[in-house]
């Protein structure tokens, strides 16, 4: 979880130091998705035996979290701006860390629900934004 918190600032540090590159940005985004997927998969596996609904909630949170990033990356790859949506990765990481550390394993699913709903809302917002016809 600490890795997720530290990772939320690495892109900003790169920009501030003037040490950015396309390769670095691609690698960073890829590692971000991988780490988010691994953490949420681990949580899903943890809850699999105890409560299948909580396990499914972790999978749903992961799916919509990844879609938030995917829509933006796909839009920008197609030359469209996609700087909309409030539930980006740093917020998801903070909620996940807070839920795991402060709320604990019994209430962590509440945080997963917040992540799932917030990510779904941002995914829909971004998708609708990029599907709007562009004015010329």
CATH number of the domain enclosing 67 = 1.20.120.1760
Q: Does the residue 29 lie in any domain?
A: yes
Structural domain tally of the chain?
Answer: 1
Q: Does the residue 136 lie in any domain?
A: no
For the cut 90, the answer to whether the pLDDT of residue 2 exceeds it is no
pLDDT tens-place string over residues 18-61: 777 777 778 888 888 898 999 999 999 999 988 889 999 999 99
Looking at residue 122, its pLDDT comes to: 97
- The Cα-based distances of 60 to 12, 26, 68, 88, 113 in angstroms read 28, 25, 12, 16, 9
pLDDT, mean of residues 91-119:
93
Q: Does the residue 17 lie in any domain?
A: yes
Q: Does the residue 103 lie in any domain?
A: yes
Range of the domain at 20: 2-131
Taking the model in full, what pTM does it have?
Answer: 0.82
Q: Does the residue 117 lie in any domain?
A: yes
Q: Does the residue 81 lie in any domain?
A: yes
Of 1 and 101, the structure prediction assigns the larger pLDDT to: 101
Q: Does the residue 67 lie in any domain?
A: yes
- The Cα-based distances of 13 to 7, 21, 36, 54 in angstroms read 10, 13, 20, 36
């Amino acid at each position: 979880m600490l890795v997720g918190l530290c990772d939320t600032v690495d892109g900003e540090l790169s920009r501030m130091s003037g040490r950015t590159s396309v390769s670095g940005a691609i690698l960073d985004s890829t590692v971000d998705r991988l780490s988010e997927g691994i953490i949420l998969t681990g949580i899903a596996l943890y809850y699999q035996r105890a409560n299948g609904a909580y396990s499914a909630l972790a999978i749903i949170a992961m799916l919509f979290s990844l879609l938030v990033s995917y829509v933006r990356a796909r839009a920008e790859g197609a030359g469209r701006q996609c700087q909309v949506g409030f539930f980006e990765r740093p917020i998801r990481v903070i909620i996940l860390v807070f839920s795991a550390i402060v709320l604990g394993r019994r209430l962590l699913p509440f945080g997963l629900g917040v992540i799932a709903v917030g990510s779904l809302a941002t995914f829909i917002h971004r998708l609708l934004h990029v599907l709007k016809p562009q004015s010329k």
